[in-house]
Structure 1
Amino acid sequence: MPSSASEPYDLAVIGAGPAGLSGAATASELGLSVALLDASGQVGGQFYRHPDPAAGVARPEALHHGWSAFVELRRRQEASGVAHLAGHHVWTVTGQDGDWAVHAVTGADGEGERPVRVRARALLLATGSYERQLPFPGWTLPGVVGAGGAQAMLKSGLVLPGSRIVVAGSGPLLLAVASSLAAAGARVPAVVEASGYLRYARRPLALAANPQKMTEAVVHGSALLRHRVRPLLHSAVTEVHGAQRVEAVTVSRLDRDWRPLPGTGRRIECDALAVGHGLAPQIELATGLGCATRRTADATTALVLDDLQETSVAGVWSAGETGGVGGAQLAIAEGELAALAVAARLRRQSAQGGQSAPGQLRRARRLRRRRARMRVFADVMAASHAPGTGWPSWLSDDTDVCRCEEVTAGRIREAVDELGAHDARTAKLLTRAGMGWCQGRMCGAAVACLAAGGGVPPSDERRLLAVPVPLAVLGSLDEPTEDH
């Protein structure tokens, strides 16, 4: 903790997932005062999401892979004196290197009880990612949920979205979701993967350097075999059927560009669909600060980071999925590396000066080698599951693309063909696509693709507000604010 209420923290960590927990615990162990802010009431993020203790679940680890790593992170965080600020929805960050102000509201879903400001000398952004969705006819029916959302329902609420669930989309998350749903008692007729897995085999050195990933694949694959779950590769759910909720889906074979092959559609009966096409880094806070971005191999937008996890903005570090999706172990390593770098920087800037201890330098070198090895695999994974340019052929003109504003594919195509929209921003201004409550998190990739005429272009849009915030909070910015 700071020496007084008026003193800033040495480090504010935003996000209490694997990267944030690792960074916060390491920084505190190195002698820094640390504030850990997160919207959730519990640490762990999406990956280590678990039931509320009040639920009395005896073995939450049964629903997780690598639970022991989380237990150790939580132990270190609780023992280190980190100030855990739960239920804090961070909506923007202001300031400059050495003098940052993190603005948040408290309360459920951001409907704040009060505005809060946390001051810090350095920032570590560990905001994770969110699921990327590509629309198709019927995707707004009740019973269609995100693949990660289905897993979150199971982990946090011990509930299933249905009893007969098709899992579809692209990416290794599908295997984990399908195996966990099947283990929980759901019938999973098929895992529908739009890509395949041959690209992994083309990079044997990346596989050999990351044997734990192969182990995870074997574990999930064995679970699917045990529960008789069919993998359908190079295929996609191209339509959902049902009146009041999901009753069945049509699965079509795809060509190499993800266009459905005529005559290959098959109907699979189900009462729920868990679907997702990978994860997209959640970088709104970072881009609001002007941090540089890069295009990833799977057509998302990630932050540009240096060898020590610092962004292009001095005094702002980032770790985990914000730099490109790569999994919990990579996030933990990056959080630790960023904390070492922050501690070294602040030590040099302090009145005492000084250099990093040799042990810390060796530790940083080991972490950099580990990060490089895991990043290679992350790049292979991203390239293997990148969306094909032909997926918009799934869409009929009356398919809703923007669910919040009920904007159809036909309206966006009209904006492009007749009104001259050639990017997502112009399409948004002409159709309101992306202006709803989710602020484009659900439809942004699809709108950008339709506007650009193919692929899924990255987004460099800067936003002042990273999350929805009550107008009363904006109106009270000039009034005294409670500081932590």
Structure 2
Amino acid sequence: MPTSPSEPPVPVRAAGPGSYDSDLAVVGAGPAGLAAAVEAARRGLRVVLVDAGDRPGGQYHRHPAPGLGARRPGALHHDWREFTRRTAALDGLVRAGRVVHLPGHHVWTMVPEGTGRRLHAVAAGDDGDAAATVRARAVLLATGSHERQLPFPGWTLPGVAGAGGAQAMLKGGLVLPGRRVVVAGSGPLLLAVAGSLAAAGAHVPAVVEAGTYLGYSGFAPALLRNPAKLAEGALHGGALLRHGARLLTRHAVVAAHGSARVEAVTVSRLGPDWRPLPGTGRRIPCDALAVGHGLVPQLELATALGCATRTAADGTAALVLDAEQATSVPGVWAAGETGGIGGARLAVVEGTLAAVSVARALLGGGAPGPREAALRRRRDRLRAFAEAMGAVHRPGPGWTGWLRPDTEVCRCEEVPVARVTEAVDALGARDARTVKLLTRAGMGWCQGRMCGPAVVALAGHASGEGTVPDRRPLSCPVPLRHLAELPEPSAD
């Protein structure tokens, strides 16, 4: 490998079929991971980029498959030109042998090996699951996030989709979830989703926001330091006005109605703690509902390594990171939503900054230069806005007031509210893990990603905040034969 960025880069070495030796393994090819892989390779590191997606971009830059024939794939995306430049750079680095890109690969465990890590990934192929092994001196986690869902009566009806899921349908498949779509939940993603659906031809009768945008008034310094964010919000608001969508703040969808699919939703006004106010319910006819209450960092790999976490301003668990994006575990860095929900532009800055830090740690170098100082200032400015955004849209504890005893909390295992409250009130459960053991809530295919915040809240923790994934040796389902093929641990 090169000993400084000025020396010619050494190609990534294949140690055998499906096995790679590298300096840096980047997990995730969304905005953060893509930026990190390109920057690190340009600085002379041998990089392996492992991603569950078939193409770079993550959920944010999900785009139609070439076979769909989209004439303007960037029409539904911000910063599309920057993204395409970065993917072109990645393609060039792959051709030069400086980056190995493993799309469609899920990293299911990481284990120490010497002074570095060994990553095991599984890929689903036409002829069965194939395994890949990556040895790396350093690891950068850019695993992104998933939607936070708060259950309500009727949320399992066909036609009810996540807000991000509805946007993914449109971006990736060029399809709408329905013709008359109510968008509901909390967080600025709702405005972007509503604008995209309306621009694509859907009628959006209402955007139902549980929080209030007046809450941003308490974060004036962060707003003034991020004028582009204010302009972006104004742009989304103007799009809603043009399409005739009504914005209802301090309201929530408390029930969905229908037989074969959703036909209407009940919207109620909320008190300051998000508890529905009696007598304020109204029905809105619709054939689809896009609902989500923000995002949750995806931390399974990080917590399996023992990385320290914190409770972010939005109530979710996020990684503790230092000024150079390093986690509490030596040799492991992180960028993007793993450090707290903050959006694609922040993710790009953090990914670039993390790659610079890794290169300095592995190749040596002096004090941070002017470019790194500028990256840090921009990171801090965008992160301050992200924390303000999280605090404004953080769910209040009263949201459990719209649940009924028969409302399903865990959809995978069909566990209703009544069974969870029985575990707490009659059987003495005081945490989500005990509730899971008594009710099976969280034991299904999603492994608690969908029901986790609700179970934590019903177990007595305010709004389900700070939900940290259990430390588990496997971060995703994996065929048993791959476990059997693992090498024996070394004696030392």
Match of 2:392 among 384, 390, 399: 384
Between the aligned partners of 2:276 and 2:195, the Cα distance in structure 1 is 27
Q: Give the corresponding residue for 2:36.
A: 23
SS at match of 1:134: coil
Q: Give the corresponding residue for 2:90.
A: 77
8 Å Cα contact 2:454/2:463 also seen in 1: no
Aligned pairs (5 A) from 1:146-295: 146-295=162-311
Are 2:310 and 1:297 equivalent residues in the alignment? no
Aligned partner letter, 1:73: R
1:108 to partner: Cα distance: 6.0
1:330 to partner: Cα distance: 0.4
Given the two structures, how large is their TM-score scaled by the length of structure 2?
0.93
8 Å Cα contact 2:13/2:22 also seen in 1: no
Q: Deviations over 1:408-452 (max 9, x none)?
A: 001000000000001000000000000000000000010011002
8 Å Cα contact 1:147/1:276 also seen in 2: yes
Residues 394 and 26 of structure 1, relative CA distance in 2, 3 Å threshold: same
Q: Give the corresponding residue for 1:414.
A: 422
1:52 to partner: Cα distance: 1.1
Q: Deviations over 1:85-138 (max 9, x none)?
A: 1111111111157321111111169x9521211111110000000000000000
8 Å Cα contact 2:116/2:331 also seen in 1: no
1:75 to partner: Cα distance: 2.1
1:79 to partner: Cα distance: 2.3
1:471 to partner: Cα distance: 2.3
Aligned partner letter, 1:409: V
Q: Give the corresponding residue for 1:53.
A: 66
Match of 1:34 among 47, 69, 75: 47
8 Å Cα contact 1:15/1:45 also seen in 2: yes
Between the aligned partners of 1:334 and 1:257, the Cα distance in structure 2 is 33
Aligned partner letter, 1:2: V
Between the aligned partners of 1:80 and 1:337, the Cα distance in structure 2 is 19
1:63 to partner: Cα distance: 0.9
Are 2:123 and 1:106 equivalent residues in the alignment? yes
Are 2:155 and 1:136 equivalent residues in the alignment? no
Between the aligned partners of 1:83 and 1:115, the Cα distance in structure 2 is 15
Q: Deviations over 1:280-331 (max 9, x none)?
A: 0001000000000000111100000010000000000000000000011100
Aligned pairs (5 A) from 1:394-433: 394-433=402-441
Between the aligned partners of 1:326 and 1:84, the Cα distance in structure 2 is 25
Match of 1:464 among 468, 473, 476: 473
Between the aligned partners of 1:410 and 1:454, the Cα distance in structure 2 is 18
1:455 to partner: Cα distance: 2.1
Q: Deviations over 1:168-221 (max 9, x none)?
A: 000000000000000000010100000011121222221111111112111111
Between the aligned partners of 1:120 and 1:361, the Cα distance in structure 2 is 26
Q: Give the corresponding residue for 1:5.
A: 15
After the TM superposition, which of the residue ranges 126-135 and 77-86 deviates more from structure 2?
Answer: 77-86
Match of 1:435 among 412, 424, 443: 443
Residues 169 and 112 of structure 1, relative CA distance in 2, 3 Å threshold: farther
8 Å Cα contact 2:453/2:463 also seen in 1: no
After the TM superposition, which of the residue ranges 65-74 and 427-436 deviates more from structure 2?
Answer: 65-74
Residues 96 and 255 of structure 1, relative CA distance in 2, 3 Å threshold: farther
Between the aligned partners of 1:73 and 1:449, the Cα distance in structure 2 is 41
SS at match of 2:236: helix
1:20 to partner: Cα distance: 0.2
Q: Give the corresponding residue for 2:112.
A: 95
Q: Give the corresponding residue for 2:4.
A: none
Q: Give the corresponding residue for 1:482.
A: none
After the TM superposition, which of the residue ranges 283-292 and 212-221 deviates more from structure 2?
Answer: 212-221
8 Å Cα contact 2:29/2:57 also seen in 1: yes
RMSD: 1.7
Q: Give the corresponding residue for 2:6.
A: none
Q: Deviations over 1:224-266 (max 9, x none)?
A: 0000000010000000000111000000000000100000000
SS at match of 1:120: strand
Residues 436 and 62 of structure 1, relative CA distance in 2, 3 Å threshold: same
Unaligned runs of 5+ in 1: 349-354, 480-484
Between the aligned partners of 1:291 and 1:31, the Cα distance in structure 2 is 27
8 Å Cα contact 2:12/2:100 also seen in 1: no
**Percent of paired sites with the same residue:** 62
After the TM superposition, which of the residue ranges 212-221 and 393-402 deviates more from structure 2?
Answer: 212-221
Between the aligned partners of 1:332 and 1:107, the Cα distance in structure 2 is 28
1:3 to partner: Cα distance: 4.6
Q: Deviations over 1:34-65 (max 9, x none)?
A: 01110111000000000112222110111112
SS at match of 1:231: strand
Q: Give the corresponding residue for 1:351.
A: none
Q: Give the corresponding residue for 2:362.
A: 346
1:4 to partner: Cα distance: 5.5
1:454 to partner: Cα distance: 3.1
